[in-house]
Amino acid sequence: MKLAGVELRRIGMPLVAPFRTSFGTETERDVLLLRVVTDDAEGWGECVAMSDPLYSPEYVDAAADVLRRFLIPALAGHRSLDGNAVGPALAPFKGHRMAKAALEMAVLDAELRALGRSFARELGAVRDRVPCGVSVGIMDSIGELLDAVGGYLDAGYVRIKLKIEPGWDVEPVRAVRERFGDDVLLQVDANTAYTQADARHLARLDPFDLLLIEQPLDEENVRGHAELAKIVATPICLDESITSARAAADAIALGACQVVNIKPGRAGGYLEARRIHDVCVAHGVPVWCGGMLETGLGRAANVALAALPGFVLPGDTSASDRYYRTDITAPFVLENGHLPVPTAPGLGVTPDPDRLDAVTTGTEWLPV
């Protein structure tokens, strides 16, 4: 393919309810979408960077800037552009993985639409549907938390993830276990909120038979996670620390994690996410697909990724209505705790023009 240009589109997506984590509360997603136009087809990408650099160093305005000034121009000279060419072309530019992932996603979507192949087939999916978990934010009270968890279980979600932070950890987990029993698949996510000094406190979660504790320490403290794993019996899962296949291999070798959460945006794209999957499978480490409150575009790609063989734990690939009253694509609807894997060419979904226009806050066309 030859690239003709890229449209940067900002949209504002109100959440159905505030989503609170240890690093802040979101009420609306400011999302950067990319529409890649080639001589063969168009493709869509979604940047998962947040409005502020709180979860990661990246944020939406910076992603748009680096795409505009550096990343998109780097692809301009490729006369035979495809998804596999994006990573090497962008490699000279350090960091900015979420921006790179969005551009790779859009190019892959265009390529696969032109070839008539699905994202799932390209990545190596082995399932036609994936089990879905749900992420439950920090609440104002235990009662509010129990009501929320009960609603998600009634909706059919097969796994519950509780966001935790110091002061909101042992008692919420205890309350959920006591109310809903030991059969519920339950895990917690700290988003780097703890330090190694909290090791004995985190070990108080061991009696609750959790699937895992996700990213308790700072993302750069891989050795600290290895030390923590010697004290805490619950499996340690790394999220923010896993930025590449090499980072995953190093963390596994150090004993810093027994489970890995794969987020394509954090890793620089779906092709690198597949490489992380392959490294983990080779070492017998289970993986699952994390979420960043994606629209239907990113959700479609995540569901395709989650259908690979190493994804043996339910991911955060929730239904569209978990976060949005109206998605920009046809909604993903939970079916017996699962979401179907799209099989149409490319992502298998496209934005509805009217829905997209209704939430658009700005567009910019960048010819190449």
Q: What does pLDDT average to in each consecutive run of 10 residues of the chain (368 residues)?
A: 96 93 89 96 97 94 98 89 96 98 98 97 97 96 98 97 97 98 97 97 98 98 98 98 98 98 97 98 98 97 98 96 95 96 98 97 96
pLDDT value at position 184? 97
β pairing state of 213-214 and 185-189: parallel
Question: For the chain, give me the number of helices (H) and strands (E)?
Answer: 14, 13
Positions marked catalytic: 163, 263
pLDDT value at position 197? 97
pLDDT value at position 77? 78
pLDDT value at position 290? 96
d(CA 368, CA 153): 49
pLDDT value at position 110? 98
CB atoms within 10 A of CB 57: 12
pLDDT value at position 218? 97
Task: At 322, list the tokens.
Answer: 């978990």
d(CA 134, CA 293): 11
Q: Is 30 helix (H, G, I), strand (E, B) or coil?
A: strand
Radius of gyration of the chain (CA): 20
d(CA 180, CA 173): 11
pTM score, whole prediction: 0.96
Asked if residues 311 and 317 have their Cβ atoms less than 8 Å apart, the reply is: no
Per residue in 98-129, is it b (16+ CB within 10 Å) or e — as a string?
bbbbbbbbbbbbbbbbbeeebbbbbbebebee
DSSP-derived secondary structure for 211-267? S-EE--S-TT-HHHHHHHHTT--SPEEESTT--SHHHHHHHHHHT--SEEEE-HHHH
Find, among 21, 51, 83, 33, the residue nearest to 270 by Cα.
83
Asked if residues 242 and 260 have their Cβ atoms less than 8 Å apart, the reply is: yes
- The full set of domains in the chain, from first to last, is 3-116+351-367 (3.30.390.10), 121-340 (3.20.20.120)
